[in-house]
Amino acid sequence: MEPKQNKLKKNKPKKKKTNRLIIKKIDDPIYRASLSIVIGDYDKSIKYIKSCKIGIDDFGEESEGKFYGSDGFSIIWLPRLNLFTLIHELYHYTQNTLHNKGIPINADNDEAGAYFIDMMFQRTAKAFKIKSLIE
């Protein structure tokens, strides 16, 4: 009887954790408001956001996501692409954009916001190539 041979497990090289930022500009053809979505490390993201000089001084604390908006320029930061948090932050973006354009959002006029967030979410899904959402 032959002894069992130990099968050596092939060690796959571990993927290096990258600290790079993913930055996507999402076009808004209706109100021409600028939106960038930044995904990655909080400290590196804040350094990038500060370099954009959008007039924001209070960046708050690290969280699951943040919306930073000034007149005409907005940034959504996420530590990773989480669709639930993305939708939450897109809601803030929608409110901010429509407010800056003089369009009130209330129970009598909520369709403008609903269509706008729908469009921006679709554009974001395409930018990040989230196939299950764009097919």
Structure-token match 């679709």, residue found: 122
Residue 104 has pLDDT above 60, yes or no: yes
Nearest to 73 by CA among 128, 26, 20: 26
| Sequence ranges of the domains in the chain | 22-129
Q: Is the pLDDT of residue 90 over 70?
A: yes
26-48 pLDDT tens trace: 999 999 988 999 999 888 988 88
Which of 15-19, 51-55, 100-104, 120-124 is predicted most confidently? 120-124
Give residue 15's pLDDT band: very low, low, confident or very high (50, 70, 90).
very low
Which strand ranges, in their side-by-side order, compose the sheet holding 73-78? 22-26, 34-39, 73-78, 66-70
What's phi and psi for 70, nearest 5 deg? -130, 180
Task: Round the average pLDDT of the chain to a whole number and report it.
Answer: 83
61, 47 Cβ separation under 8 angstroms: no
Higher-confidence residue of 27 and 133: namely 27
Give yes or no for residue 71 having a pLDDT over 60: yes
* DSSP code, position 113: H
Average pLDDT of span 103-107: 88
Cα dihedral value 13, 44, 94, 117, nearest 10? -10
Q: Which helix (H) or strand (E) holds 68?
A: strand 66-70
Task: Look up the pTM and report it.
Answer: 0.79
Which residues face 73 on adjacent strands?
A: 34, 70
Phi, psi values for residue 76, rounded to 5°: -110, 125
Rounded to 5°, angle at Cα 114 from 33 and 24: 40
